[in-house]
């Protein structure tokens, strides 16, 4: 396969819940991509329990990219798209810290 777009609703530690809800973990999606010998895997459909993106081992999965809701991708971008995972992860972590700081400063209701 050239491209596999696969949902990754749950992190790996939640495999039982993923099965119960008929969803996949990031690891399961990566395994399917490996079995399909996919050139690129795009993970999408993350659980709303994650404010940003799920945790997965980027170092050993250089063919994995992520897509957010309403994102469009030009097939010509498949060559460099996985290189965006680390910067996006860093950006999201920075944003999470800012959200947490804002929550801490907000007056209690």
Q: What is the pLDDT of residues 49-89, one digit of tens each?
A: 655 666 666 666 788 998 887 889 899 999 999 998 888 88
User: Using 50, 70 and 90 to split pLDDT, how confident is the model at 92?
Assistant: confident
Q: Which long-range contacts (CB under 8 A, 24 or more apart) does 84-88 make?
A: 85/58, 86/58, 88/53
Mean pLDDT of 104-109: 68
Distance of CA 40 to the CA centre of its chain: 14
Provide the whole-model pTM.
0.76
Average pLDDT of span 37-53: 78
Q: For 1-36, how does the pLDDT look when each residue is reduced to its tens digit (9 = 90+)?
A: 899 999 888 888 888 988 898 988 888 999 999 999
Q: Which two tokens stand for residue 106?
A: 């907000």
Cα Dmax for the chain: 52
Query: Where residue 48 falls among pLDDT bands split at 50, 70, 90?
Result: low
pLDDT for 51 equals: 58
2-35 burial, b at 16+ Cβ within 10 Å, e below that, comes to ebbbbbbbbbbebeeebeeeebbbbbbbbeebee
């Amino acid at each position: 396969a050239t491209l596999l777009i696969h949902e990754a609703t749950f992190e790996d530690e939640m495999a039982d819940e993923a099965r119960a809800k008929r969803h996949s973990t990031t690891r399961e999606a990566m395994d399917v991509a490996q079995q399909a010998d996919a050139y690129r895997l795009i993970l999408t459909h993350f659980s709303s329990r994650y404010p940003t993106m799920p945790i997965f081992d980027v170092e050993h999965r250089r063919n994995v990219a992520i897509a957010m809701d309403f994102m469009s991708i030009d097939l010509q971008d498949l060559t460099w798209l996985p290189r965006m995972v680390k910067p996006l992860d860093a950006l999201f972590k920075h944003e999470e810290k800012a959200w947490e700081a804002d929550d801490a400063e907000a007056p209690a209701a």
